[in-house]
Amino acid sequence: MNVQPSQVLTMGILSLVFCGSGILGIIFGALGKKKAKAYVAENGGTVGQVKAGSIMSNIGFIIGIVMTVIWVIYIIVAIAAVASMS
């Protein structure tokens, strides 16, 4: 797999941009982490873009998980509120 540092950085940026939606943040974060690992395995080290992309991917992944949990809780509370009105 020929991974470019800009690909890792792009996945990291996308994971941060979409982390508020939850699932997309998790997906892009996981892809960024996978590409960073592949780059390190291929080249034996990292460059600035790979480090930055990896860090952003990790942050986006974690925030994506948190936001997914928040969305699920929000939906459950909303359903419970509507059900109690009836």
Q: Which range marks the domain in which residue 21 is found?
A: 5-85
How many domains would you assign to the chain? 1
**Predicted confidence band at 8 (pLDDT cuts at 50, 70, 90)?**
confident
Alpha-carbon distance of 15 to 67, in angstroms, equals 12
**Per-residue pLDDT tens digits for 14-23:** 888 888 888 8
CA-CA-CA-CA dihedral for 46, 27, 66, 71, to nearest 10: 160
**Per-residue pLDDT tens digits for 46-64:** 788 888 888 898 999 999 9
